[in-house]
Amino acid sequence: MNFMATKKPSTPPSAPVQPQRDDSDSVVLERRPQKTAPPKMYQVVMLNDDYTPMEFVVVVIQEFFNKDRESATQIMLKIHLDGRGVCGVYPRDVAATKVNQVMEAAVQAGHPLQCVSEPVE
């Protein structure tokens, strides 16, 4: 699941300008600032399986999500008991990078651990 740009970014449109008239014949242009929406956030979710050791999951959470041992253990238990657990919430590109890091670590260790990113609602 790669989210790479396929075309060059375009220049942002300029702010709309509203003409205003005063008592003379001159026109005064007023610039309205554009408001940008914050980026959509994505949650990184690990899925439970019957083969990946719990200790490996704790180490991965500590390493890639910067959690302390206790928090990582709580997330691991949530994954184990509920079948899935949220490890963190990030912008789309950061979440995709975290998923790739976890999946690569799992493959290198020979574990079938699965990790996905989902939009936060």
Q: Which CATH number characterizes residue 82's domain?
A: 3.30.1390.10
List, for residues 81-104, the tens digit of each pLDDT value. Answer: 999 999 999 999 999 999 999 999
Residues whose CB falls within 8 Å of the CB of residue 93, separated by 6 or more in sequence, listed in order: 3
Q: What is the distance between the alpha carbons of residues 42 and 14, in angstroms, rounded to a whole number?
A: 29
**Which residue segment(s) compose the domain that 110 sits in?**
41-119
- Please state the domain count of the chain: 1
Tokens of residue 13, six digits: 């449109």
List, for residues 38-50, the tens digit of each pLDDT value. Answer: 889 999 999 999 9
Give a yes or no: residue 15 inside a domain. Answer: no
Give a yes or no: residue 64 inside a domain. Answer: yes
Give a yes or no: residue 13 inside a domain. Answer: no
Q: What is the pTM of this model?
A: 0.70
